Chains A and B, each alone.
Chain A
Amino acid sequence: MYNRNSNNPISKEHAKYISKIKRNRLMVRFSQIAILLAFIALWELAARLNLIDAFITSQPSRIISTIKSLYQEGVLLMHVSITIYETIIGFVLGTMLGTVVAIILWWSEFAAKVADPYLVVLNSLPKVALGPIIIVWIGAGPFAIITMALLVSLIVTIITVLNGFMEVNPDKIKLLQTFGANKTQILKKVVLPASIPTIISAVKINVGMSWVGVIVGEFLVSKAGLGHLIVYGGQVFKLDLVMTSVFILSIAAALMYQFVAWLEKKFLKWQR
């Protein structure tokens, strides 16, 4: 129908247009990298020329050697993987549990109405404030940290996904009813599939939330993980360790976000 993949020879103006777009894209990418490199170079230079105190600001070369020594001690992978593991479990559980609760509330309008004020209050409560309670109840360990990550994303998932369910076009539901569909079929055939974009955007938010929950949890529990390294480094004034951990954390968070974005693309291939 459309000539999207037609192999007509492209006109001169179009070739010009394409190359302009491409050049522009290249420039953007180039500038992004240049800023990063300049920042690192300036940081390193300023530290070497003693313009800043590398003891409290650290410096790129020290970060690299910290990574090296952590790796040689064999603890780098351990800390990173613990944090990543807690984060993934946290947001997967948070998203799944939140979706299940949303389904229950969709099923029973009565339950949804009863739950509404509680959801509003719980949503505005900063969940990390519950950290100490959770640690007392569950014990200072990975379970407490995962519970925190889960709690941080749970309520917002319930609210977002339930809203998504409610926004499904009532006529789409009416259409299924004309075929004699029951409530389970309505859920499976239209409400859930129509809400997949909403659920995925909830996952995207939850990834970020889960990091917050895990890092705060590790601050409090302080036994292992990047959060623990950050707190520990701060306490013993090893800013190299703090900066290194933050650096690794930002890379891990970015990678995980990319992964979710890739999942989104895969699941939403019908959405152009």
Chain B
Amino acid sequence: MNNKVVVNLENVSMKYHSLEGETPAINNISFKVNEGEFIGIVGPSGCGKTTILSLIAGLIKPTTGQVLVYGKKVQGPSTSVGYMLQQDHLFEWRNIMQNALLGLEIRGKVNEDSKRKVERLLETYGLGEFKKHYPDQLSGGMRQRAALIRTLAIDPKILLLDEPFSALDYQTRLVMSDEVSTIIRKEGKTALLVTHDISEAISMADRVIVLSERPATIKNIHEIQLTSEDNNPISRRQAPEFRQYFNAIWKELDVHV
């Protein structure tokens, strides 16, 4: 892994304004992400996790501070960033192939080449037979995979994943987190994964950022080093150090019921 910084947040704060008043969502957040790194972000509900991803994606602008992607200040959505939302949001009136092509279509980049590439992605990740199927004919896991391919189709170098598995049942979730992390590492992407699930974060990420309650500040950043044979999430969960990381992060999150 090299040390080229691809995402850089410098003292970023963000407030939302409405007639009822202003909501400070995140407060003075700074961190750097290296190329090829997998970052997990955990934090209490409503603390500002999605806000951080939306800032990096260029959907919103910070109130103060700046967000840099590949050294350049983010001005709007960019081709180098792919964003995968909490729900798959496949369009029910498009078949899987048409859904996967959506991003390319918006950017006016649909051609024989890009189509073939998307077809290859679908085939590689087990959706080759379902190209002509409509989303409601697919299982939850397959839909999520199709959504990932839709994101990968525009060939982003950085992937933002906002609780991509939260709509899935536990079993599918484990399998999907395994698949997705394998895909992302294989395609050599940099990734930021937001999740509520501490285990998911530890099992997938190289570093886990723990956020405080809203307005989010960084409580701690854990460098995850596990002595597992494989680098896939399922075997990483078996590593002896896993529990220690889990307990440490659990304490930091300080969950009250």
Contacts and interface: CB of A to CB of B under 8 A. Distances in A.
Interface of A: 1-2, 169, 171-172, 174-181, 185, 189-190, 193-194, 196, 270-272
A180 B89 contact: no
A190 B78 CA distance: 20
30 contacts: A1-B137, A2-B137, A169-B89, A171-B87, A172-B89, A172-B91, A175-B85, A175-B89, A176-B102, A177-B59, A178-B57, A178-B82, A178-B83, A178-B85, A179-B77, A179-B102, A179-B103, A179-B106, A180-B76, A180-B77, A180-B106, A180-B107, A189-B105, A193-B91, A193-B93, A194-B91, A194-B93, A196-B93, A270-B94, A272-B136
B59 A178 contact: yes
A144 B3 CA distance: 75
Nearest to B137: A1
Contacts of B105: 189
B106 A270 contact: no
Contacts, number: 56
A187 to B, nearest CB: 12
B92 interface: yes
B106 A181 contact: yes
A1 B106 CA distance: 31
B154 interface: yes
B92 A270 contact: yes
Contacts of B85: 171, 174-175, 178
Contacts of B86: 171
B134 interface: yes
A169 B90 CA distance: 12
A190 to B, nearest CB: 7
B contact residues, range = 20 to 34
Contact of A190 (B91, B103, B107): B91
Secondary structure at the A interface, as helix, strand, loop or mixed, is helix
* Residue from A169, A171, A178, A270 with most neighbouring chain B CB atoms (10 Å): A178
B136 A179 contact: no
Contacts of A180: 76-79, 106-107
Nearest to B103: A179
Nearest to A2: B137
A181 B59 CA distance: 11
B137 A176 contact: no
Interface in B68-88: 76-79, 81-83, 85-87
A263 to B, nearest CB: 16
A169 B87 CA distance: 11
B79 to A, nearest CB: 8
A190 B92 CA distance: 10
B157 to A, nearest CB: 15
B15 to A, nearest CB: 20
A270 B57 contact: no
Q: Top 5 closest A-B pairs, CB basis?
A: A178-B83, A180-B77, A179-B106, A179-B103, A181-B106
A172 B91 CA distance: 8
Contacts of A178: 57, 59, 77, 81-83, 85
A199 to B, nearest CB: 13
Contact of A179 (B87, B91, B107, B137): B107
Contacts of A193: 91, 93
A2 B138 CA distance: 10
Contacts of B107: 179-180
Nearest to A267: B93
A179 to B, nearest CB: 4
A272 B86 CA distance: 24
B59 to A, nearest CB: 6
A179 B93 CA distance: 19
Contacts of A177: 59, 77
Nearest to B81: A178
B68 to A, nearest CB: 18
A180 B77 CA distance: 5
Nearest to B79: A180
Contacts of B134: 270
B93 A270 contact: yes
Contacts of A196: 93
Given A174-B59, A176-B102, A270-B136, 7 more contacts: A169-B89, A171-B85, A171-B89, A172-B91, A178-B77, A180-B76, A270-B94
Contacts of B136: 270, 272
A167 to B, nearest CB: 14
Contacts of A175: 83, 85, 89, 102
